[in-house]
Amino acid sequence: MEHHMFFLSLILTKLAAMQGCHAVDYAVTNTAITTAGGARFNKQIGADYSKQTLVSATNFIWRIFQQNNSADRKNVKKVSLFIDSMDGVAYASNNEIHFSANYIGNYSGDLKREFTGVLYHEMTHIWQWNGNGQTPGGLIEGIADYVRLKANYAPSHWVQPGQGDRWDQGYDVTARFLDYLTSLRSGFVAELNKKMRNGYNERFFFDLLGKTVS
Ligand SMILES: *[C@@H]1O[C@H](CO)[C@@H](O)[C@H](O)[C@H]1NC(C)=O
Ligand SMILES: *[C@@H]1O[C@H](CO)[C@@H](O)[C@H](O)[C@H]1NC(C)=O
């Protein structure tokens, strides 16, 4: 019996070590605590909820992108979220997400839901392939909003399916278009993202769908 316990604990330690080397670290820093928005963040959202959301967004994105193994994913060891006194809403760069305390301070409506939806969008930028910088910005933003849509955090002011002027307009318009394409071919966005690992070509759409987009 003791032998069994010993081996079981060896296996568990090994498993923990294996997961440990692929695990992602998350950090949340509020640099705006002295502002109204920074105080509202601490009171109504908080670092714990933010961290949980970073973890669940990451797992959701890996699933949407069908990146079942670490070899399929971008090699990111740590993602840091900052609540900063700045204008705009949020942006992602260098594995950091910067969220506007001013936006949080001024937001009217369901703040936690909005915050969560924006984090899903920004977290997608951390994990998505960008064709080595060649993928058009509208498509990059559309994929990030597609993930937000599939996570059920689309805000009510978004365009409805079929609205918009051009498929590559970006954001909600492109997200709706990608959702339509996924109804034609299941897993479409995952496959498109995989193709963008090293470069970009509009032909990817034809390769996957047998149709051209423009
Ligand atoms: C990843 O897992 C999903 C769900 O289990 C499966 O449908 C998909 O085929 C897998 N993809 C790869 C590339 O293994
Ligand atoms: C609202 O936004 C403005 C402009 O960014 C900012 O100066 C102000 O502090 C914000 N208000 C709150 C309560 O955060």
Pair (93, 163) in one structural domain: no
Q: What is the pLDDT of residues 127-177, one digit of tens each?
A: 999 999 999 999 999 999 999 999 999 999 999 999 999 999 999 999 999
Pocket mutation for ligand 1, best pick of 66, 72, 73, 186 (most atoms within 8 Å of C-beta): 66
Q: How far is the CA of 69 from the centre of ligand 2 (A)?
A: 42
12 has a pLDDT exceeding 90: no
Which domain-ending residue is among 75, 101, 127?
127
Residue 151 structural domain = 131-214
Ligand nearest to the CA of 39: 2
For the CA of 100, the closest atom of ligand 2 is 5
Q: How far is the CA of 29 from the centre of ligand 2 (A)?
A: 19
Pocket mutation for ligand 2, best pick of 41, 99, 100, 102 (most atoms within 8 Å of C-beta): 102
Q: What is the pLDDT of residue 19?
A: 53
Q: What is the pLDDT of residue 127?
A: 98
Flag whether 15 is in a domain. no
11 has a pLDDT exceeding 80: no
Pair (50, 110) in one structural domain: yes
Pair (143, 162) in one structural domain: yes
Q: What is the pLDDT of residue 176?
A: 98
Hey, how many other C-beta atoms are within 10 angstroms of the C-beta on 9? Answer: 10
Pair (179, 120) in one structural domain: no
Pair (46, 122) in one structural domain: yes
Q: What is the pLDDT of residues 45-95, one digit of tens each?
A: 999 999 999 999 999 999 999 999 999 999 999 999 999 999 999 999 999
Q: What are phi and psi of 4, to 5 degrees?
A: -60, -45
Number of domains the chain contains: 2
Flag whether 114 is in a domain. yes
8 has a pLDDT exceeding 60: no
Kindly tell me the number of DSSP H helices and DSSP E strands found in the chain. Answer: 9, 4
Pair (104, 136) in one structural domain: no
Q: What is the pLDDT of residue 214?
A: 78
Q: What is the pLDDT of residues 192-214, one digit of tens each?
A: 999 999 999 999 999 999 999 87
Report yes or no: 134 and 107 within 8 Å, Cβ to Cβ.
no
Q: How far is the CA of 86 from the centre of ligand 2 (A)?
A: 9
Flag whether 162 is in a domain. yes
What is the residue type of 61? I
Pair (102, 159) in one structural domain: no
Ligand nearest to the CA of 187: 1
Pair (187, 102) in one structural domain: no
Pair (118, 140) in one structural domain: no
pLDDT tier, 120 (very low <50, low <70, confident <90, very high otherwise):
very high
Pair (93, 117) in one structural domain: yes
More confident residue, 19 or 117: 117
Flag whether 6 is in a domain. no
CATH number, domain of 61, equals 1.10.390.10
Residues with CB under 6 A from ligand 2: 36-37, 87, 102, 105-106
Ligand nearest to the CA of 41: 2
Flag whether 13 is in a domain. no
Q: Is 198 helix (H, G, I), strand (E, B) or coil?
A: coil
What's this model's pTM, rounded to 2 decimal places?
Answer: 0.90
18 has a pLDDT exceeding 80: no
Flag whether 200 is in a domain. yes
Flag whether 2 is in a domain. no
Which domain-ending residue is among 127, 161, 194?
127
Flag whether 10 is in a domain. no
Which domain-ending residue is among 83, 111, 127?
127
Among the listed residues 166, 193, 171, the one whose alpha carbon sits nearest the alpha carbon of residue 182: 193
Pair (64, 104) in one structural domain: yes
Pair (141, 187) in one structural domain: yes
